[in-house]
Every structure is written in C-alpha cells, then in structure tokens.
C-alpha cells in the first residue's frame, strides 16, 4: 500500500469529483491506515450529496405530510391564513407547504417589493388538499398572497434572513 494514496486531503478531493472511488476504498482497507478517521471525514460529504439529490425531485408531498424543514402555511375558515407572519426562514431554497382546512379553493403566491416571485404558485382545491414546492428566496420581507378573486384579505408576511 502506497502511503501517499492514503493522504486525507487527496482522498477527499478525489471522492468529491467522483473519479477515484477505488483509491478511496484502498485507503479505507489499509489495515495500518486511519480507517475510521477517514470515514468520519468522508461521511458528512456523502450526507450533503444525499440531501442535494433529495431536493431535486419535484414530487408532490402526500396530503398534510411534508418533508422535514418545510415551512407550512394553512388556509383556514373565513378566507384567512393561519398566521399573519411566517418565518424567519433562511435565504436560499425554501420548501413551502400549503394545507387547506377551509372549504373553498385557495392559492399561494409570493411577492417582494410588490413584484411577484416567478414560477411559484401553490393551489389547494378543496378541504384536505395539500400542495408544496421549493422556491429560492433572498433576504428580505415577502408577502404571501392568495390570488383567488375576493380573497384579498389573505395576506401575510414571510421574513427571510
């Protein structure tokens, strides 16, 4: 076993660009090497890659069950959101879930400085419906809006830090 191949820094870089997994395995199987030390350093890398892959799927969440970390908004009776203020959430990709506890159709769009956030709209058609989608947000204050005619009362703020 070539000692140089078991250099931590080297192994991490090679695994990162995905071209040298066999070298990584050789390092790990070196009985004299720091097998567990290396695994500890590599594990968080794989964990974060796994998270990214999970975020890429565009599947609709099952009714009222959202992925961990989802910011959930509920439409309640009398044409209202369940809160006047939401957040704060961290800037970046935020998954927003929307649940209908009311008996009519509602939507959810976002606006910042009176400009609508493009390509984002949640729709919950009836009682028990749920919808969710990821959206990329920057720091600031957003307005949550239901754009169904007559629902102008449905406004809330979302703080993004």
| Closest residue to Cu ion: CB criterion | 146
- Residue 151 as a binder of Cu ion (CB under 5 A): the answer is yes
The dihedrals phi and psi of 37, each to the nearest 5 degrees, come to -60, -40
Tokens of 51: 């998270």
Query: Which of 96, 106, 124, 156 contacts Cu ion by CB under 5 A?
Result: 106
Measured from the CB atom, is 73 or 146 closer to Cu ion?
146
How far is the C-alpha of 105 from the C-alpha of 25, rounded, in Å?
55
**At what angle are helices 8-16 and 35-55 packed, to 10 degrees?**
20
- Residue 99 as a binder of Cu ion (CB under 5 A): the answer is no
Tokens of 11: 């192994």
Q: How far is the CB of 117 from Cu ion (least distance, A)?
A: 17
Query: Which of 94, 130, 144, 154 contacts Cu ion by CB under 5 A?
Result: 154
Q: Which residues bind Cu ion (CB under 5 A)?
A: 106, 146, 148, 151, 154
């Amino acid at each position: 076993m070539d000692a140089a191949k078991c250099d931590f820094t080297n192994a991490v870089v090679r695994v990162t660009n995905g071209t040298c997994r066999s070298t990584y395995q050789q390092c790990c199987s070196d009985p004299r090497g720091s097998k567990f030390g290396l695994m500890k350093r590599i594990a968080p890398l794989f964990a974060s890659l796994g998270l990214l892959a999970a975020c890429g799927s565009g599947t609709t969440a099952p009714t009222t069950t959202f992925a961990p970390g989802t910011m959930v908004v509920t439409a309640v009776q009398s044409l209202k959101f369940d809160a006047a203020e939401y957040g704060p959430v961290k800037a970046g990709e935020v998954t927003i879930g929307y649940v209908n506890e009311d008996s009519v159709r509602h939507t959810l769009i976002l606006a910042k400085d009176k400009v609508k956030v493009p390509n984002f709209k949640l729709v919950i058609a009836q009682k028990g419906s749920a919808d969710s989608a990821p959206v990329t947000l920057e720091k600031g204050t957003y307005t949550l809006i239901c754009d169904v005619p007559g629902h102008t009362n449905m406004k809330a703020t979302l703080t993004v830090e």
